[in-house]
Structure 1
């Protein structure tokens, strides 16, 4: 690196690892004090990955991978390197530095990690001062409507039929006999919804006759075997035409359809 202008010409900030490598490539006899500040990571509150060095670490070799991958800020002689305060005038270029191509001296660089300062307090200003009906989706349903009417706003019959089609198609590809109607799929989705807030240790307990676990709403809506057959074969895409580069390919059509419905509801 001929000078630190390259530091600002990059499309993204340098990481600590990249900046330390750049500093090592500069060979000069001048005495400059280089300080590298580590920006706080996005998961600074995660205690599962402790720092390998002290907060004011003078040895870059003791930094862990999260610290090395964090964005870095460079200070020279206790002055920050900013776009307005270019260090080219203060730092000799490689053309003016007598260097030995056979010798590379590691520069004494101190690395100081900035710790986030958390404050437990209420927001002084509300996030949104004026709430109005424009923030609400144009729902024309009221208290007189059934809860299924609200559910169908985001899971219409066409989308449920789409799930039925690919679920039956997948079962057939595995030589399994499965018959599923739109009503069956609605009941299946309803059971999933109820089991999300009425949690039992095992799924089969919802159909048991014990008073402490039986859920009559679930057990009377669908037989346990029917539910397990749908659960075993549930699909939202054709496995024969999946995009190999998309890790979410098996649920991508469902995600796209739901995002479109959510977007329509907020117009």
Structure 2
């Protein structure tokens, strides 16, 4: 679409007996390139006394009867107009020879534009297939669709923030208990039937050496999905998350000073920046046959290396920075992470008090930094040491006021990126699914649903919606 100059448009409307509704005159074409501000000469002239440059500028007139003058839609091609445009405007440079497709759509760009569609299977079709298979083995003619399973999962998630004494109360007709959203989505008997038979694995093909074999297929699918949807953060921290369980099971743990003291312990590899769950596994106890890696680096070190080995190639190719706490002790693990190309940071507590001091290992480039705070903290790292030192405010008992003390850079990095797992565990605990069953694997199953929702929420906050 082209336009005529203002003087041509004025001539055209003078020859016609028409009422002018609107006149659009574009800014004059700049004939001289300059970095200086425009002067008063660029805005001179009134409607009845336009300057020469304004008269030669593109213009369009809209008449009262709807006709448009100056909209050159007479079949001229863009190739015919290019020589005229080249004479009045600057030619496009070689660096800007791209064809843009601008839009005012509010669709957000993904964090990683080159991401491919997720190739791993989705969890809902797998659960539908295994649930129907398990129901058939138990002589039940259960038929289940993905839509019904979505409603079941939705009811489970709703119980995390709309809690009632028992799941049957959601269909109670009393005014103080009735939940119209749940009752309108599915009947109570249908919901009870589905969660009675819901299953994650085929009982005919269970691995007797794996205590999590009933959940392993779902765990593998979720880990693969998390890996492909990971927002490519280089900071990772490994820590445990407790899944509440009060029954009897060989993998049950009891840990003091935890919000959840009794239950299953899940090793979680999270983003240190936003808490996105990248990979997880359930701790099965020391009685499980130890691999060669665990015998060499210990249970904690072997777990870390195993989780790193299971990451997608795209994630392992990143310059990862691994942050772990004092459970994962041992300098051989630090040396192994250095050999694999990962930057590593581990905190270890020591009783002696002292100032900031650093020792270096030249063979594996490991720095041991000891810092005097309220307690003495020793950090092993292949990433940083004490410099650059900054100041941090601490209370002084002697001076009865806050004073500034040196703060090593390696401690700053550790404090900044170590809380990813705790952040995810806190968010999951706020809206944990509140419907219980007597199956031992049910708490882990609902925790995985909560973890998936949390990771999806993190992607939503980052502006990247997971594909599929």
Q: What is the TM-score when the length of structure 1 is the normalising length?
A: 0.41
For the pair shown, which has the larger CA radius of gyration, 1 or 2?
2
Greater relative contact order (CA < 8 Å, ≥ 6 in sequence):
1
Q: Identify, as 1 or 2, the structure richer in strand.
A: 2
Q: What is the TM-score when the length of structure 2 is the normalising length?
A: 0.24
